[in-house]
Structure 1
């Protein structure tokens, strides 16, 4: 690829408030897509369509594996679009315009179609939804490295993004189930939820695509001097990025493990509300306990990162989350409202887990640009998004495997079932000790991250 597309950045220039606001609004899309399917899709399949727990987990995992396949290709194609036009916006708009339809179709399948037909239709619709989201998300994650070269400005940019992200988690995590109950029955309720949520996600994605224009003003379009690379070469470029950048390997491994931990808790939240706290509506309170503290804590993590560095702040946030998740293990023997307190502590840490690694990724990309060729941010973010997707996908898979192994009883809409004690115990453990172990492993991976402020601002 031509090196004429090198971003022209002022390393210490302060980003305009408009640019930060437009970029942050994109988290309405990322927060909604990450939260609502992870929260209710497996439950929709097992307790509305009557799909077996193991099959439900495989459906969610299959769609996420598709993300892993296409994300590196989208990243490489986004880099070529940037070199050719000076902007990544085309892919982002395509994703924003198509996602609302596919998202609504995912939750439009009625129980009357039967578990098999219903499962197939949900799988196809969710595959299309995942494709639309990747078209937006991969270039979206690449933009911070092109918007500013400042170590602290990236923390500021991503800090505001996470404030909107946590608000989106609250909006979709608490509002989604409320919309589901707004319909005359559960079937219509899920459809209303899918339509409304899809529209909000798409609007957030479309607004954020305008940020690509701000990045475009710092990038000079280049005339490609070579034929477009083959699919094999596009995958190979991602593997080369992993091989040559030790900081990227360490940060990606950390983030993947943490996505797996939080994805496991997210997929288990509805089951915890229904069978541990004995109230399907309690899922709203779980999200209030998680997101309320996170909204307040994000500026604090930004301030801590400026004082002691993103890496140390990230390590502290990870340790706090590990302790909070592990404490919920006591729910196996003594379930109760005290769980909300542990979730709130996890919420404080969660704000740091979202903002800090996303602010560190542009540092990794710019470090690689100085030591290798520029114009490969999309390649990095394609691999990054694929890794994040694997984590969240396997989180849902772990929960579904736990349900299947402990004898969870699936039902259709309107029917009730009594769960065995082993299933309830498995639900509690998948929401507590399993995420804690995964988070502890991520701290070990993070210890291998070597970049510091001096490396970025040199």
Structure 2
């Protein structure tokens, strides 16, 4: 149960907008590497599929170390900019450079190319942690109100939808602007364009949150790592929301990694990646008010179950794409998008509830540690989506290639693409429905009416 607050803090609209624009960073860093990096390595740098999966996954393991550290540092930071914003600024000044270098390397092939991309992606993951961990910690400290947090995060999700649309449609369009599959030069141009978008979005969030209210506990938790981890271990709501996020984002990351392969080998048109993404993210822009109302009507847990069922149902339906064609695939992905919109809004809102409840119960500021651990674990586990998909491709006999030497994939590899895009993610999502039932945090009870004289 979330402790009732003495007063409700309403977040100003300007701050909601300023906070929300930072989600362009979240959306872009999640979508572009998840969508294009595996494909870029296997089809442009001649990296074997299993090794490319390792490269995408390995830097995320580093998140398990750096994210809790950044969260702890931001909890303990004292500055005129507040505890979170100095770290956001550091990330804004470093992530765009590292991101560009991931797609702008020298002319390498095979293992050397994998090592270069892995090193740059590791640097990008570190810079992203500097921004994202403090950024995610802020909503739980802006307001005490259970439903106000969902309303605040609605703006974040609208910007995530817009950012995902821009990155998921624009990035493949630029990458494929020179030929059906693109060239190394077009991928470099894509990296530069997305880096500029990242810089503008992160600086926008830094300046836009200058007037953000801070209602969290005034004193940071000075306990050591052992004490903090022991306290978190006893926080069942935090543990279950973390397991839930890991499960759902594992399915999302698999589908992102599989999308260009699904477009190229199941639909027969690599450029349909853009229209599939439009179908996926369109509901994020249109259905957020609906999910806010559903969360009030059925509570957040009930709305989460509904969202996951829609997500999993659309994913399972896409298995029939070879029978019904491209239009059917887009309709199925549209249903997936409606479900993902609810899942992501409710995940972040429930995390903010957990952070606020922890501060109310302990009297300590450790939102950074909580969100750092949550982000690290969720990001680390979800990154295995690309690795799992890469393994599925290898089992199916997928043959790596270069643009100058295209190959015809065996039928087993085409089948592996369909399984990795639909069957396996659908099973994972349906498992997440069962996990949601273990989440017990509820809104505070309304105060009893005062007795009349």
Deviation at 1:353, TM superposition (A): 0.8
- 1:27 corresponds in structure 2 to 23
Deviation at 1:269, TM superposition (A): 0.3
2:347 pairs with 1:347: no
Deviation at 1:297, TM superposition (A): 1.1
Structure 1: any 5+ residue segments left out of the alignment? 1-8
2:60 pairs with 1:64: yes
Deviation at 1:104, TM superposition (A): 0.6
- 2:405 corresponds in structure 1 to 415
Deviation at 1:215, TM superposition (A): 4.1
The correspondence for 2:304, drawn from 314, 328, 335, is 314
Equivalents in 1 of 2:93, 2:251: separation in Å? 31
2:71 pairs with 1:75: yes
The correspondence for 1:17, drawn from 13, 25, 28, is 13
Q: Say if 2:284 and 2:341, in contact at 8 Å, map to a contact too.
A: yes
Pairs aligned (count): 442
The correspondence for 1:396, drawn from 350, 363, 386, is 386
Equivalents in 2 of 1:278, 1:86: separation in Å? 51
2:40 pairs with 1:50: no
Equivalents in 2 of 1:82, 1:212: separation in Å? 16
Q: Say if 1:254 and 1:445, in contact at 8 Å, map to a contact too.
A: yes
Q: Say if 1:143 and 1:212, in contact at 8 Å, map to a contact too.
A: no
Q: Say if 2:39 and 2:260, in contact at 8 Å, map to a contact too.
A: yes
- 2:191 corresponds in structure 1 to 194
Equivalents in 1 of 2:369, 2:321: separation in Å? 43
Alpha-carbon distance change, 159 to 219 in structure 1, aligned in 2, over 3 angstroms: closer
Deviations 1:225-247 (A, max 9, x none): 97xx7xxx44x456334311111
- 2:254 corresponds in structure 1 to 264
Equivalents in 1 of 2:276, 2:404: separation in Å? 24
Greater displacement, 351-360 / 366-375: 366-375
Q: Say if 1:83 and 1:375, in contact at 8 Å, map to a contact too.
A: no
Query: What SS does the aligned partner of 1:327 have?
Result: helix
Query: What SS does the aligned partner of 1:160 have?
Result: helix
Normalising by the residue count of structure 2, what TM-score does the alignment of the two structures yield? 0.92
Equivalents in 1 of 2:296, 2:307: separation in Å? 15
Deviation at 1:335, TM superposition (A): 4.5
Deviation at 1:318, TM superposition (A): 0.7
Deviation at 1:67, TM superposition (A): 1.5
Equivalents in 2 of 1:453, 1:220: separation in Å? 19
- 1:363 corresponds in structure 2 to 353
Equivalents in 1 of 2:237, 2:447: separation in Å? 16
Alpha-carbon distance change, 205 to 241 in structure 1, aligned in 2, over 3 angstroms: farther
Alpha-carbon distance change, 199 to 375 in structure 1, aligned in 2, over 3 angstroms: same
- 1:91 corresponds in structure 2 to 87
Q: CA RMSD in A?
A: 2.2
Alpha-carbon distance change, 204 to 58 in structure 1, aligned in 2, over 3 angstroms: same
Structure 2: any 5+ residue segments left out of the alignment? 449-453
Equivalents in 2 of 1:36, 1:241: separation in Å? 36
Equivalents in 1 of 2:270, 2:228: separation in Å? 43
Normalising by the residue count of structure 1, what TM-score does the alignment of the two structures yield? 0.91
Equivalents in 2 of 1:455, 1:134: separation in Å? 36
